[in-house]
């Protein structure tokens, strides 16, 4: 059965065929580049994320696509001036409305840079390294989100994404709209993020009465925030497993996951249906825990629990290894316990929690090997409910045992970006944390379990 992302990719390919864009266009820098996916599974194609503040951009070519947003004419000029200083070469593609907006050639702020218009503007895009869409109108954003390639910005940026080129959208302010319309606007932003577009700067309040900011504290807000480490965010399972968690707190968890584009939310099975509904139109997955936190339930119970969670909308399963059986050296049981859950999940990603704080080095090696033999997708360090969490030593050891083809998830005690990066360098490609926002904003959440 095709997933939503599969369907989106197929439809996008068909749309691009109408405009004579080959799906495997080759060029000097990107040969047979795949269609970009924003999925964050360990074996998926990640959305390109090239920092804008590195010196490398001085060697690259960029195309700045300017839209005719009359409300943001001054902001567009400033945005262009900021971008043009970062690249070796910059060309400007003006939308039809932008041509009218900047019709006075002598006063154009882009002096010294080549303009492109009409069909000329969408030819030879493969030579550019980065693309920037500056202050698009609501009409343009809607066309991007709903695959209507009937204007230059939509056609140019879709070609860029098809070839795996990063496309940033500069959206200096967002519109003042009735709440129902704002909800729809948020869905548009979600779709764009899912397609691979990136938002690279702060959305700020404008003195113009036609614009206002969306509150980032609102549970309904789905705009990705700025001033955070997006590269770290894609590793994070935003986690809230406390037994006293309330519905309001889970709703807030989901809103934060949308805003910061975390890989998933990790919640207890009771809240899977709620999270699946709240995250229905986003790229954030719902992860839940099985046999939690002791791992001592029967295999049949774990299988039923996992299958029910998937029916309720879970996209990832974190099951707890039967620690007692491992300690008793009943290795066949441990392997088959995991295998049964993997088979019950029928392709849904399964991570196995080893609870490394309770294991010896030899037991961690054996448990990791058994999980690999059982076809699990990940091994995970900790529940966060035992006497210790993830350590660099244990993550390195697990990575060594399972090799490059399995995932390793570090969870428990990761409370700041320094620790998070250290875990990733040690071999983790997913982090289970509750201090997610502190980590991606460069703060320190202090002592804690998850």
Q: What is the pLDDT of residues 392-431, one digit of tens each?
A: 999 999 999 999 989 999 999 898 999 999 999 999 999 9
Residues 322 and 371 in one domain: yes
Does residue 30 lie in a domain region?
yes
- For residue 284, what are its two tokens? 């954030």
User: Within this chain, do residues 86 and 22 fall inside the same structural domain, yes or no?
Assistant: yes
Predicted TM-score of the model (pTM): 0.53
Residue 325 has pLDDT above 90, yes or no: yes
Same domain (yes/no): 181, 277: no
The predicted pLDDT at position 56 comes to: 61
| CATH (domain of 407) | 3.20.20.70
Phi, psi of 180 (to 5 degrees): -60, -40
Distance CA 272, CA 288 (A): 7
Paired residues of 197 in beta bridges: none
Same domain, 243 and 192: no
Q: Which residues pair with 379 in a beta bridge?
A: 352, 408
| Whether residue 193 sits in one domain with residue 234 | no
Residue predicted with more confidence, 319 or 27 = 319
Residue 39: HSE in the Cβ half-sphere, 13 Å Cα cutoff: 16
**Do 309 and 426 share a domain, yes or no?**
yes
Quote the percentage of the chain above a pLDDT of 90: 43
Of 346, 401, 348, the C-alpha closest to 371 is: 401
Burial code (b: 16+ CB inside 10 Å, e: under 16) for 248-257 equals eebbebbbbb
- The reply to whether 293 falls in a domain is yes
List active site positions: 318, 380, 409
Task: Identify whether 446 is part of a domain.
Answer: no
Q: For position 104, what pLDDT does the model report? A: 53
Strand order in the sheet with 167-170: 115-116, 89-94, 61-66, 130-134, 167-170, 198-199
ω into 293 cis (within 30 of 0): yes
Domain that holds residue 68: 4-199
The pair of three-digit structure tokens given for residue 227, joined into one six-digit string? 């001033």
For 41-69, write each residue's pLDDT tens digit: 223 323 334 444 445 677 788 888 887 77
- Does a structural domain hold residue 346? yes
Q: Are residues 171 and 277 both part of a single domain?
A: no
Of 177, 199, 221, the one marking the end of a domain is: 199
Do both 194 and 277 map to the same domain?
A: no
Judge whether 379 lies within some domain. yes
* Mean pLDDT estimate for the chain: 78
Instruction: Write down the pLDDT at residue 416.
Output: 92
**Predicted pLDDT at 29:** 36
Look at the block and give the residue holding tokens 């993020």: 193
267 band by pLDDT with thresholds 50, 70 and 90? very high
Of 157, 183, 199, the last residue of a domain is 199
184 and 238 in a single domain? The answer is no
Query: Coil, helix or strand for 24?
Result: coil
Do both 145 and 76 map to the same domain?
yes
Question: Coil, strand, or helix at residue 286?
Answer: strand
Buried b (16+ CB within 10 A) or exposed e, 301-330: ebbebbbebbebbbbbbbbbbbbebbeeee
| Residues 277 and 155 occupy one common structural domain | no
State how far Cα 254 lies from the chain centre.
14
Is 268 a domain residue? yes
Percent of the chain clearing pLDDT 70 (strictly above): 72
Could you tell me if 373 and 346 are in contact, meaning their C-beta atoms sit under 8 angstroms apart?
no
CATH number for the domain that contains residue 109: 3.40.50.1950
Count the residues in the chain. 450
Domain count of the chain? Answer: 2
Instruction: Answer positive or negative: Cα dihedral of 365, 367, 368, 369.
Output: positive
C-beta separation of 284 from 262 below 8 A? yes
pLDDT tens readout for residues 231-263:
899 999 999 999 999 999 999 999 999 988 899
């Amino acid at each position: 059965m095709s997933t939503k992302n599969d369907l989106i990719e197929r439809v996008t390919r068909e749309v691009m065929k109408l405009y004579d864009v080959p799906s495997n266009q080759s060029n000097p820098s990107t040969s047979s580049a795949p269609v970009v996916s924003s999925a964050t599974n360990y074996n998926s194609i990640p959305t390109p994320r090239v920092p804008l503040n590195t010196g490398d951009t001085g060697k690259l070519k960029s195309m700045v696509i300017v839209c005719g947003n009359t409300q943001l004419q001054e902001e567009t000029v400033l945005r262009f001036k900021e971008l043009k200083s970062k690249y070796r070469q910059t060309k400007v593609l003006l939308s039809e409305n932008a041509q009218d907006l900047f019709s006075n050639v002598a006063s154009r702020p882009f002096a010294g840079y080549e303009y492109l218009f009409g069909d000329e503007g969408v030819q030879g895009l493969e030579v550019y390294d980065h693309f920037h869409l500056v202050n698009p109108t609501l009409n343009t954003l809607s066309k991007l989100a709903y695959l209507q390639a009937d204007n230059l910005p939509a056609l140019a940026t879709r070609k860029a994404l098809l070839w795996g080129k990063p496309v940033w959208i500069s959206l200096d302010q967002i519109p003042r709209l009735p709440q129902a319309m704002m909800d729809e606007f948020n869905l548009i932003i979600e779709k764009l993020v899912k397609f691979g577009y990136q938002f690279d700067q702060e959305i700020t309040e404008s003195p113009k009465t036609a614009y206002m900011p969306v509150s980032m504290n609102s549970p309904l807000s789905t705009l990705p925030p700025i001033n955070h480490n997006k590269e770290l965010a894609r590793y994070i399972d935003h986690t809230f497993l406390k037994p006293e968690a309330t519905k309001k707190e889970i709703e807030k968890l989901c809103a934060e996951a949308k805003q910061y584009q975390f890989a998933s939310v990790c919640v207890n099975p009771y809240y899977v249906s709620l999270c699946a509904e709240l995250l229905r139109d986003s790229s954030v997955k719902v992860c839940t825990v099985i046999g939690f936190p002791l791992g001592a339930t029967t295999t049949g119970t774990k299988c039923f629990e996992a299958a029910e969670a998937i029916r309720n909308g879970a996209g990832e399963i974190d099951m707890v290894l039967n620690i007692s059986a491992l300690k008793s050296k009943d290795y066949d049981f441990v392997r088959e316990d995991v295998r049964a859950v993997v088979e019950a999940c029928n392709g849904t990603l399964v991570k196995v929690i080893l609870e490394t704080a309770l294991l010896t080095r030899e037991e961690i090696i054996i448990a990791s090997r058994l999980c690999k033999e059982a076809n699990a997708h990940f091994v995970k360090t900790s529940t966060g409910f035992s006497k210790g969490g993830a350590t660099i030593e244990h993550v390195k050891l697990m990575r060594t045992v399972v090799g490059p083809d399995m995932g390793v998830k570090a969870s428990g005690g990761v409370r700041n970006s320094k620790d998070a990066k250290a875990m990733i360098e040690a071999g983790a490609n997913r982090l289970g944390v509750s201090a997610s926002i502190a980590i991606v904003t460069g703060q320190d959440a202090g002592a804690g379990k998850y």
